[in-house]
C-alpha cells in the first residue's frame, strides 16, 4: 500500500481525503475546511472505511481519494 496523508473535513463528521505522500494536496483541501489527521500506510492503522483498491483508482483518476469513515 502507498503512503497517504489523511485530511479530515471539519464540517462533515467522518469525511476524509487521502492524498498520496508524493502528490500535491488538492486546492480544495484548505486549513479553513480540513485538518491534517495523520498518515496511512502499511505500518499504520487506517480509518474504518478506507479501501485500498478504491484509493488506488481514485488517485489514478483524481489524484486523491475521498471516503467516509465509520
pLDDT, block means (10 residues), the chain with 70 residues: 90 94 96 94 80 94 95
Rounded to 5°, angle at Cα 17 from 10 and 24: 115
Give CA–CA dist 7/12, Å, rounded: 12
Q: What is the pLDDT of residue 26?
A: 97
Question: Sign of the CA dihedral 62, 65, 66, 67?
Answer: positive
Give the residue from 26, 34, 28 showing the smallest Cα distance to 62. Answer: 26
Q: What is the pLDDT of residue 43?
A: 66
Q: What is the pLDDT of residue 41?
A: 80
Q: What is the pLDDT of residue 46?
A: 82
Domain of residue 58, residue span: 4-68
Q: What is the pLDDT of residue 14?
A: 93
Domain count, the chain: 1
**Would you say 2 and 23 are in contact if contact means Cβ atoms under 8 Å apart?**
no
Q: What is the pLDDT of residue 47?
A: 86
Amino acid at each position: 500500500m502507498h503512503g497517504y496523508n489523511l485530511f479530515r473535513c471539519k464540517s462533515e463528521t467522518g469525511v476524509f481525503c487521502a492524498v498520496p505522500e508524493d502528490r500535491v494536496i488538492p486546492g480544495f483541501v484548505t486549513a479553513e475546511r480540513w485538518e491534517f489527521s495523520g498518515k496511512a500506510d502499511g505500518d499504520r492503522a487506517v480509518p474504518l472505511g478506507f479501501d485500498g483498491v478504491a484509493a488506488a483508482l481514485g488517485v489514478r483518476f483524481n489524484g486523491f481519494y475521498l471516503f467516509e469513515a465509520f
